[in-house]
Amino acid sequence: MGITLHYFTKWLGRGNTVLYLLLFCSIGALQAQTTVTGVVADNNGMGIPGVNVTIKGTTTGVATDTDGKYTITAPDSATLIFSYIGFNSQEVAVDGKELINITLDENVQTMDEIVVIGYGTQRRQDINSSISSISSEDIEDLPQVSIDQMLQGKASGVVVTNNSGQPGSSTSIRIRGIGSISGTNEPLYVIDGVPISGDSQNKATSGRPIAGGDFSSQGNNSVSPLAMINPSDIASIDILKDASATAIYGSRGANGVIIITTKTGRRGTGKLSYETSISFQEQSRLLDAMDLQQYARQQNALAAAFGMEPRAEFAQPHLLGSGTNWQKEIFQTGILKNHQLSFSGGGENVNYYLSGSYTDQLGTVIGSGFKRYTFRSNIDAKVRDWLKVGSFVTAGITNEEITLNSQQNGIISTSLLQAPDMAVRNLDGSYAGSPENNQAIAYINPVALALTKSNELVRKNFLGNVYTEITPIKGLTYRFELGANTEFSENDEFTPTYQWGEFGNELADLNKRRQNWYSWNIKNLITYRNTFGNHDVTLLVGQEANESVWDGLLATAQGFLSNDVPAIGLSDVAGRTVTDYRGSQALSSYFGRVIYNFADRYSLTASIRADGSSKFSPEGKNQWGYFPAVSGSWNLSNEAFMAGTKKYVDNIRFKAGYGEVGNQQIANNQYSANLAFFDSGLGLGPLGANIANPNVKWESQKQSNFGLDFTLMDGRFAATIEYYNKQSEDFLVVQPLADMITGGFQWEGGLAAPYVNLGVVQNKGIDITLNYNTDPNKAFSWNSTLVFSKFKNEVTELNDQLTLQRSVNTNDYTTVTATNTVVGMPIGMFYGYESLGTIKTQEQLDNAPLTDLGTTDPIPSLLGDIEYVDQNGDGFITEADRTFIGNPHPDFTYGFTNNFRYKGIDLSIFIQGSYGNDILNLTRRSGTLNAFPYTNQLSEAAGYWTPDNSNSDIPRPVNNLGHANLLISDRYVEDGSYLRIQNITVGYSLPTDIISRVKLTKLRIYAGVQNLYTFTKYEGYDPEVGSFNQDALLTGVDNGRYPSPRTITMGLNVEF
């Protein structure tokens, strides 16, 4: 036999393959065959459609159907392989069994494997820079309308605060601290390859809001640039944090890059899924404002203090009722409804994902609401073996009702100041006006205004990217991408005529803003990847060009024949005006990158990008910027000598990187002297608009990153610890020039100060991510992730002749300096006087310094005035005695996500918080001014100092807003630390065997509560204050912010 076999193999060796195959097949045919059936399910017992079931050693195979069922005919001796992306493959010998049910384990490791980096992808273990990834599961069930809001607490080094609770409003995202002072600090978003700026202020483009008049509604009303993306469409989010990762984005990478990839279809039977949820939202906290009795007593007391006649109707306060509680009047229960339907699947060569969604949110403040419709189609196809094409297209339409939220007639702060002696409505149902008074001090009925005035914003956004990928030879790909993004926005703001008490609007006003904007983006990318033994090399050469064009039309009309139809055609011809604005910007770029990996132990990445920007003078040398980066890593665990330690600690990697990135996000034409045209009684005429700086150039940022990754306990515990040092140089800042030189703001007829490059800001920080998983195959599993971010921001260099003080407009129509930025301190520190409480004794009064704030004579204090610390000891309280009274930057922020699973039940608990930051509570200041009559105050304002209440630290009332008692001081600075139970969700998935009877593959119901409780000492509505219109220098200033509500959500996910 031995000899026969020998000859047989020899004969085979002669190349009689055909015969061999024939022989093999005939042998196969002779073997006993079994028809095997079964269900392939996941850990939850749900059938997985599209699982490949193949006979080992052959190409024969089938795929499971929608219920996870399969049928295959295989030899008795065969082994079946069950494989599916994202799951560990399993092999089972047939051995004559006719029923083989399989449970596949999800392979978390595999899921995480591919990370999207700029212009390419990379295996997680090869990444040398700092990138956080968030998967769709991490953000599901969160009832937020926009993705940026969902990132809160999910990634280390990423601090997310909601600037306002207004539906659809903007968010401040700070990736590793604050690097820019004037420019935006928001990251660049790249959605399916299309770049989108996170700057909601359009600072670098039109400079105009998309809602409201150009100058009339300068409140905290910016809307999120991401509000039109449906969060359910997102597959993964990769956050590029350090400069060695973002340098490939060059001049747009300084604030980090958030790459968002939407879902694509998977090969297998089509899947239809439907998700719906409903949420109820309510303000969890109201402030303690005075009721009518308290108000009447306070009015009487103030009248006495100011030397005014007391009001007759308040002679007997105890006979009065409680009056109107304006806070209750302006808040309502908000309802958020969500529906989303998606279809996905794929065949041999084409994969598809189609979805549509509808979101309808009624805000918690009257007059606010948000609706969104989205449609998405993602398709990719393999045309030939060497040619792939694909497209990502989404359309989003949003419709927002924007409530009054501007600086001085903001509905929230107005509701605190509106007198409770005014009714919301008269007996006949019409809106009431404020009672007549001889000082014409009154706030308009905020309910009437919010419900009468309409401010509607419709945005139609279309975003898409098409690509062609050619692989002419193995390892070499050429990819061409054409992306475009366009938005048409329509804003109509209409104030009808009304008469509420003595306040009336005789002429209705209409502001119509029509803005359209588009950008296109062309990319040519050549990637070459090859492996030579232990050497793995990836080369990238690319070119990109980007242009943005905007055009807006703003029409106003006044005097309408009817309040019902606010059409310009029905307005008074003489009251019509129209203006427009337009502009464009361009960026041209070239870049290259090399990634080298040796034996999975050492890895090196180097990249460089050159950007040319239209922001800078075409005549100077500053139009082009160059941004290099290099990073490397060492995987210690893969060294041979570490083999013994693998069972204790594994995947130990050290990373180090350095990169330079830029920022060019400033308004256009800062290099030229522009004119601004104004109307006058003499007709239209130009005034100088700005002081030109032909030398303005890129803001540059240098960042080093050092990281350590390791896992313990068979990979169940994973840790990433990173340290960074980020230095922003030549930052672009509007030169803070004295009013004497500029003449005030440009819109007031002054010259806008130039953008200059000055100073250095440093951010040093540590990001830690810890993750723990129990065995996911057990009936009970638990996954927990803790992210911790800490950074220290410091201005290390500044032109010493410049002062970076930032002021805010308060509710009392004054402007106060709130922050100051100096060398050696973090940026945007609260700036004011240090107070020592009220002057309570004669002795204290005798020793108190005089107040000398520019008045001709220094003013002696009286008993009951605030005593301030004379910082420079000159015996007077002057401007020079202002000091730093609070730090808006937290010591650290954290997020703690916990997911528990027991059979079909899942529970997630998400806690998030911030520690060590201060808040400047200007809402409280305006609620305790005691400076003028006819205005309501917080209850605490009644406890002001009097000879009979001499222990009070609330100063005596003075009828003068400029009085020293009301200066910005540490009296208004509060600890803003908080710990918030942000989300608790319980879900239940019905077992597969039950739902498969109704042809379902998944049915999950869930209920959750968001913003359940906040542990904080802060006395305002909400310690999560954010930045006023994303301004880094006005962080933590609470000026009547629309608070985030508490939300209860119920939802349903169904899959066919």
Partner 1 sequence: MKKYIMNVKSLFLLLSAATVVSCSDEFLNRPPEDTLTVDNYFSSDAQVAASTNGLYNRTWFNFHNKAFFAIGEIGSGNGFSYSSDVASLKTLTISSTDPELINAWRGLWATVAQSNNIINNLATGVSPAVSQGAIDTAIGEAKFMRGLAYFYIVRLWGPVPIMENNLEYVNTPLIPTNPESDIYEFIERNFESAIELLPEKVRGSNYSSNARVSKGSAKAFLAKVHLYQQEYTEARQLAEEVINSGEFKLYGGPELPGKTFGDLFLTVNNNNEESIAAMQWVASGSYGTASNANTQFAYSPYINMATYGGVFAPSQDLIGAFEPGDIRRKETVMLPGDVYPNITTADGPGLVVPADIDAQGSGAGIKKYVVGKTSDLAGPADSWGMMENNTYFMRYAELLLIHAEAVLAGAGSTSDGAALNSYNMVRERAGLDPVASFTFEDLFHERRVELAFEGDYWYDLGRIPQSMAIAIITAQDRGDATNSVFVTPPSGDFLRLPYPATDLAQNPLLNQDPVPYNFD
Binding-site size for partner 1 (CB under 8 A) equals: 122
- 411 membership: H or E segment, kind and range: helix 411-417
Residue type at 219 in one-letter notation: G
Q: Which is nearer to partner 1, 45 or 858 (CB)?
A: 858
Which residue in 264, 784, 803, 939 binds partner 1 (CB under 8 A)? 803
DSSP letters for 475-503: TEEEEEEEEEEEEEEEEEEEE--EEETTE
Looking at beta carbons only, is 676 or 1012 nearer to partner 1? 676
C-beta of 691 vs 839, nearer to partner 1 = 691
- For partner 1, the closer of residues 187 and 736 by Cβ is 736
Judged by CB under 8 A, the residue of 18, 30, 640, 684 near partner 1 is: 684
Residue type, 545: A
Check: CB of residue 457 under 8 Å from CB of residue 399.
Answer: yes
**Residues 452 to 491: which contact partner 1 by CB under 8 A?**
470, 472, 478, 480
- DSSP one-letter string for 735-756: ----HHHH-S-GGGTSPBPPEE
Strands 268-282 and 334-346: antiparallel
Report, in Å, the least distance between residue 324 CB and partner 1: 20
Site for partner 1 in 923-942 (CB under 8 A): 931-933
Comparison of 22 and 823: residue with beta carbon closer to partner 1 = 823
- The Cα–Cα gap between 730 and 962 comes to 37
**Residue 737 beta carbon to partner 1: minimum distance, rounded to whole angstroms:** 6
Residue of the chain from 813, 843, 951, 997 that contacts partner 1 (CB under 8 A): 813
Q: Where are the alpha helices (DSSP H) in 56-174?
A: 108-112, 136-139, 147-150
Instruction: Quote the least distance from Cβ 627 to partner 1, whole Å.
Output: 17
Answer for which of 97, 474, 582, 1017 binds partner 1 (CB under 8 A) is 582
Decide if residue 723 touches partner 1 (CB under 8 A).
no
| Contacting residue, 714, 775, 874, 879, with partner 1 by CB under 8 A | 879
- Contact indicator for 931, 963 with CB cutoff of 8 Å: yes
Show contacts with partner 1 in window 43-62 (CB under 8 A). none
Q: In this complex, which beta carbon is closest to partner 1, that of residue 54 or of residue 418?
A: 418
Contact in structure between 587 and 543 (CB atoms under 8 Å)? no
By CB under 8 A, name the one of 686, 715, 875, 943 that touches partner 1. 686
| 689 scored as a contact of partner 1 (CB under 8 A) | yes
554/606 with CB nearer partner 1? 554
Nearer to partner 1, 199 or 544 (CB): 544
For partner 1, the closer CB: 569 or 685: 685
Q: Which of residues 562-581 bind partner 1 (CB under 8 A)?
A: 574-575, 577-581
Looking at 347, 620, 685, 943, which residue binds partner 1 (CB under 8 A)? 685
Residues 516 and 654: their CA atoms lie apart, in Å, by 48
Interface with partner 1 in residues 762-801 (CB under 8 A) = 801
Do 262 and 191 touch, CB atoms closer than 8 A? Answer: yes
Cβ proximity of 162 and 145 under 8 Å? no
The smaller minimum CB distance to partner 1, of residues 366 and 804, is found at 804
DSSP string, 530-542: EEETTEEEEEEEE
What letter represents residue 458's amino acid?
Answer: V
How far apart, in whole angstroms, are the C-alpha atoms of residue 746 and residue 756? Answer: 17
Task: Select the residue interacting with partner 1 from 83, 264, 269, 814 (CB under 8 A).
Answer: 814
How far apart CA 77 and CA 391 sit, in angstroms, is 45
Residue type, 146: S
Least Å distance, CB 471 to partner 1, is: 10
280-339 residues in contact with partner 1 (CB under 8 A) are 306-309
Minimum CB distance to partner 1, residue 355 (Å): 31
The two most distant CA atoms of the chain are separated, in Å, by 127
- Name the minimum Å distance from CB 686 to partner 1: 6
User: Which residue lies nearer to partner 1 by CB, 750 or 886?
Assistant: 750
Nearest distance, CB of residue 963 and partner 1, angstroms: 8
- Report the nearest approach of partner 1 to the CB of residue 738 (Å): 4
- Three-state DSSP class for 711? strand
For 422, list phi and psi in degrees, rounded to 5. Answer: -100, 135
- Neighbouring residues of 835: CB distance < 8 A, sequence distance ≥ 6: 866, 867, 868, 869, 969, 970, 971
Considering only residues 724 to 763 of the shown chain, the ones binding partner 1 according to CB under 8 A are 735-745, 747-751, 753-754
245 vs 240: CA distance, rounded Å: 6
Rounded to a whole number of angstroms, the minimum distance from the CB of residue 591 to partner 1 is: 12
Q: 300, 325, 332, 524: which one contacts partner 1 (CB under 8 A)? A: 524
Residue whose CB is less far from partner 1, 526 or 1007: 526
Of residues 847, 820, 814, 846, the one with CA closest to residue 833: 820
Residues 503-522 that bind partner 1 (CB under 8 A): 503-507, 509, 522
Nearer to partner 1, 545 or 863 (CB): 545
- Please tell me whether residue 561 binds partner 1 under the rule CB under 8 A: no
Can you tell me which of 25, 85, 93, 675 binds partner 1, judged by CB under 8 A? Answer: 675
The least distance separating partner 1 from the CB of residue 514, rounded to whole angstroms, comes to: 15
Per-residue H/E/C for 983-1027: EEEEEEECCHHHHHHHCCCEEEEEEEEEEEEEEECCCCCCCCCCE
In whole angstroms, the minimum distance from the beta carbon of 614 to partner 1 comes to 4
Lookup result for tokens 């055009």: 551
Regarding beta strands 850-851 and 876-877, do their DSSP bridges make them parallel or antiparallel, or are they unpaired?
A: parallel
Tell me which residues in 216-235 interact with partner 1 (CB under 8 A). 216
Query: Whole-number minimum distance, CB 408 to partner 1, in Å?
Result: 10
Least distance from partner 1 to the Cβ atom of residue 1040, Å: 18
Instruction: Give residue 91's identity as a one-letter amino acid code.
Output: E
Touching partner 1, residues 341-400 (CB under 8 A): 386-387
Binding to partner 1 by residue 961, rule CB under 8 A? Answer: yes
User: Of the two residues 857 and 948, which places its CB atom closer to partner 1 in the complex?
Assistant: 857
Which member of 105, 456, 547, 600 binds partner 1 (CB under 8 A)? Answer: 547
* Closer CB to partner 1, 675 or 905, in the complex: 675
Taken in order 931, 937, 942, 945, the sign of the CA dihedral is: negative
Binders of partner 1 among 594-633, rule CB under 8 A? 612-614, 618, 623
CA neighbours within 13 Å on the CB side: how many for 773? 14
Q: Of the candidates 286, 350, 594, 802, which one interacts with partner 1 according to CB under 8 A?
A: 802
Binding residues among 818-857 for partner 1 as defined by CB under 8 A: 853-857
Which conformational region is residue 1026 in: left (phi greater than 0), alpha (psi within -120 to 50 degrees), or beta?
Answer: left
Contacts of 467 (CB under 8 A, 6+ apart): 193, 388, 389, 390, 391, 479, 480, 481, 482
For tokens 């009447």, what's the residue?
Answer: 296
Instruction: List helix spans (H) across 694-853.
Output: 739-742, 842-847
Cβ proximity to partner 1: between 261 and 690 the closer is 690
**Cα separation of 363 and 169, whole Å?**
11
Q: Is 970 helix (H, G, I), strand (E, B) or coil?
A: helix
Question: Which member of 25, 304, 315, 441 binds partner 1 (CB under 8 A)?
Answer: 441
142 contacts 153 by C-beta, under 8 angstroms: no
Pairwise CA distance, residues 647 & 737, whole Å: 63
Q: For residues 736 and 864, which CB has a smaller minimum distance to partner 1 in the complex?
A: 736
Q: What angle do CA 816, 821, 824 make, to 5 degrees?
A: 150
Verify binding: residue 964, partner 1, rule CB under 8 A: yes
